[in-house]
Amino acid sequence: MSLRQLRKECEAGLADLPIPVPFTLDQLVANMEEASGRTIRLHEMPDRLARVNAACGLRLKAGGTSLVLYRRRPTAYQTQHVILHELCHEWFDHGTTLDAEQLRTLLPVFDTSLIARMISPAAAASFASGGGTVQARAQYATHDERMAEFGASLIPRMARDLTTDDMVGRLDNSLSRPVAHRRRGLFPGKRSGDA
């Protein structure tokens, strides 16, 4: 698949993502929870789990809850990108999963007690029996991983292109793009105020 095709597929998949104005991760998660009816929890992985070849982002999905684990990166932008990558998996409803050996390689101390504490004992039992979905941001060999990675790059651009009609929004728009035409939404036919 070409980069152009990947971009079009990502744009189509993210067209109805409820991006908040102004953009914050917390509000994006709240909007995604409302739109999907699922609970999404973000949790920073402790430093003791951070190894050179360990995953920098991990999504665990069971029942009505998804847990996004992430490693803090050197900059806030990089950390946000890791989180957005996992949230793209959630929004695109990717269902691929890592097997137990791949998971142990990427996150050596992972076990179901973490899931029991963060989500629920029932979710931990589901993962132990192979019933949950586990995805990690560590390799990009699959279409789902490339989609999530590209989507994580698109979301901040989409958020910057959305403006509000109040005085501050109009001022920000005119000063940040003094020669460009005002855009109400990133995609043709879709206005930022449409629900």
CA–CA separation, 88 and 104 (whole Å): 23
pLDDT digits (tens, 9 = 90+) for 161-185: 776 777 877 777 677 666 655 555 5
The pLDDT of residue 97 is 60
| pTM of the predicted protein model | 0.70
Average pLDDT on 148-154 reads: 94
CA–CA separation, 88 and 3 (whole Å): 17
CA–CA separation, 94 and 70 (whole Å): 18
Contact criterion met (CB below 8 Å) for 159 and 169: no
23-37 burial, b at 16+ Cβ within 10 Å, e below that, comes to eeeeebbeebbeeee
pLDDT digits (tens, 9 = 90+) for 10-54: 999 999 999 998 899 999 999 999 999 999 999 888 766 655 556
Average pLDDT over the chain, rounded to whole? Answer: 76
Beta strands in 33-73 (DSSP E): 39-44, 57-62, 65-70
pLDDT digits (tens, 9 = 90+) for 89-139: 999 988 766 555 665 565 555 555 555 555 556 555 655 555 555 555 555
Helix then strand then coil, % of the chain, to nearest 5: 50, 10, 40
